[in-house]
């Protein structure tokens, strides 16, 4: 009899433990389904200090635009704001329904300020009409923003941190973007990304590889006081505004090859611990400023095929 009672109590404890894992029983918890339901009702999302334990999939909203037999777009018509929230599950804006691929279109601002993402974040192929704010966000899993299109005036990743891969490849940023005082422990990549406004990467620390190859900077790009502890690549890039690589530390090889700089370039007080390769690059405003540039050896500066353009003043001829 005692054994039967003990087993019954044990079964009750296990059952209670399972129920305690439900989103509704998590302290300060809110379910992803409730968030999606609010979006479907047209209510602006403002959530602060909450825990979202399950996956938040924005493609699950009811409003879809069918583009073709194989592609549709999930429409989020309200501002979405999360402040100091914890996401235990994945956050995503891309998926499939049947044989159709589906992406997400945010028609207003998107904010995840001070949020802690414990799993993967995937905003690939998302379109955002408003401004974007990931200030102070912590990405503990992969953070993927490939092919994202942001039309808002400002995008903020100020003081963000990522523990694994951070990728924003082949993206379009219609305004300025700010990664000031960010910290990436894994690889960070902006390969083939197009940034229309000021690109702020000052005081950025990258422990993994950093790749800006084939990127287009249509305004200023700033790397002042940044530290790259692993390989740095900016090959095949184009900078239309000034490029400030001032007081930067390249802890490993830095390749800035076959790029076109239409504005002034400044390497003042930068330190290249091993290789600094600018071969094949074109500097349209003449030679870069290199006062205080520190090289471990003169041969570690590679300039094969580098061109410095000098414009004549025709008014004086």
Of 15 and 92, which is predicted with more confidence? Answer: 92
Q: ∠75-80-82 over CA atoms, to 5°?
A: 145
pLDDT above 60 for 15: no
Of 145 and 299, which is predicted with more confidence? Answer: 145
pLDDT above 80 for 317: no
Distance CA 244, CA 271 (A): 14
**pLDDT value, residue 209:** 98
Distance CA 28, CA 21 (A): 13
**pLDDT value, residue 276:** 97
**pLDDT value, residue 197:** 98
Distance CA 43, CA 48 (A): 15
At residue 227 the predicted structure's pLDDT band, cuts being 50, 70 and 90, is very high
pLDDT above 50 for 274: yes
**pLDDT value, residue 299:** 82
pLDDT above 90 for 269: yes
Residue pointed to by tokens 């409730």: 34
**pLDDT value, residue 186:** 98
Which residues are CB-contacts of 135 (< 8 A; sequence separation ≥ 6)? 113, 114, 156, 157, 158, 159, 160
pTM, full prediction: 0.89
To the nearest whole number, what is the mean pLDDT of the chain?
Answer: 91
**pLDDT value, residue 9:** 41
**pLDDT value, residue 28:** 87
Distance CA 139, CA 119 (A): 8
At residue 66 the predicted structure's pLDDT band, cuts being 50, 70 and 90, is very high
Of 10 and 35, which is predicted with more confidence? Answer: 35
Average pLDDT over residues 289-302: 91
220 in Cβ contact with 197 (< 8 Å) = no
144 in Cβ contact with 123 (< 8 Å) = yes
Which residues are CB-contacts of 113 (< 8 A; sequence separation ≥ 6)? 81, 82, 83, 84, 133, 134, 135, 136, 137
**pLDDT value, residue 315:** 56
pLDDT above 50 for 42: yes
Average pLDDT over residues 186-193: 98
> What are the structure tokens assigned to 140, written together?
């503990």
**pLDDT value, residue 297:** 83
**pLDDT value, residue 233:** 98
Question: pLDDT tens digit string along 146-166?
Answer: 999 999 999 999 999 999 999
Q: What residue segments make up the domains of the chain, in order of their start?
A: 42-316
**pLDDT value, residue 311:** 62
pLDDT above 90 for 7: no
For residue 167, the tally of other CB atoms under 10 A from its CB is 23
Average pLDDT over residues 230-243: 98
Distance CA 21, CA 40 (A): 26
Average pLDDT over residues 28-49: 97
Distance CA 159, CA 174 (A): 21
């Amino acid at each position: 009899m005692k054994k039967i009672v003990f087993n019954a109590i044990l079964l009750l404890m296990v059952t209670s433990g399972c129920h305690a894992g439900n989103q509704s029983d998590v302290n300060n918890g809110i379910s992803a389904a409730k968030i999606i339901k609010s979006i479907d009702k047209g209510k602006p999302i403002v959530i602060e200090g909450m825990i979202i334990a399950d996956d938040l999939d924005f493609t699950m909203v009811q409003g879809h635009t069918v583009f073709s037999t194989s592609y549709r777009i999930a429409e989020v018509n309200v501002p979405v704001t999360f402040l100091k929230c914890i996401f235990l599950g994945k956050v995503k804006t891309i998926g499939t329904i049947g044989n159709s691929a589906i992406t997400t279109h945010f028609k207003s601002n998107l904010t995840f300020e001070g949020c802690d993402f414990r799993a993967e974040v995937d905003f690939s192929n998302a379109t955002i009409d408003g401004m974007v704010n990931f200030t102070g966000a912590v990405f503990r899993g992969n953070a993927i923003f490939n092919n994202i299109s942001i039309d808002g005036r400002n995008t903020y990743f100020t003081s963000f941190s990522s523990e694994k891969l951070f990728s924003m490849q082949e993206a379009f940023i219609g305004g300025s973007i700010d990664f000031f005082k960010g910290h990436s422990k894994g690889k960070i990549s902006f390969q083939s990304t197009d940034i229309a406004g000021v690109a702020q990467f000052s005081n950025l620390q990258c422990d993994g590889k950093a790749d800006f190859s084939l990127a287009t900077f249509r305004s200023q790009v700033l790397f002042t006081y940044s530290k790259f502890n692993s390989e740095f690549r900016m090959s095949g890039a184009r900078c239309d505004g000034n490029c400030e690589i001032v007081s930067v530390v390249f802890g490993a090889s830095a390749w800035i090859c076959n790029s076109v700089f239409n504005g002034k370039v400044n390497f003042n007080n930068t330190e290249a611990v091993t290789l600094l390769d600018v071969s094949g690059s074109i500097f349209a405003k003449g030679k870069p400023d290199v006062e205080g540039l520190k090289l471990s050896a003169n041969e570690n500066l590679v300039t094969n095929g580098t061109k410095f353009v000098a414009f004549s003043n025709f008014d004086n001829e």
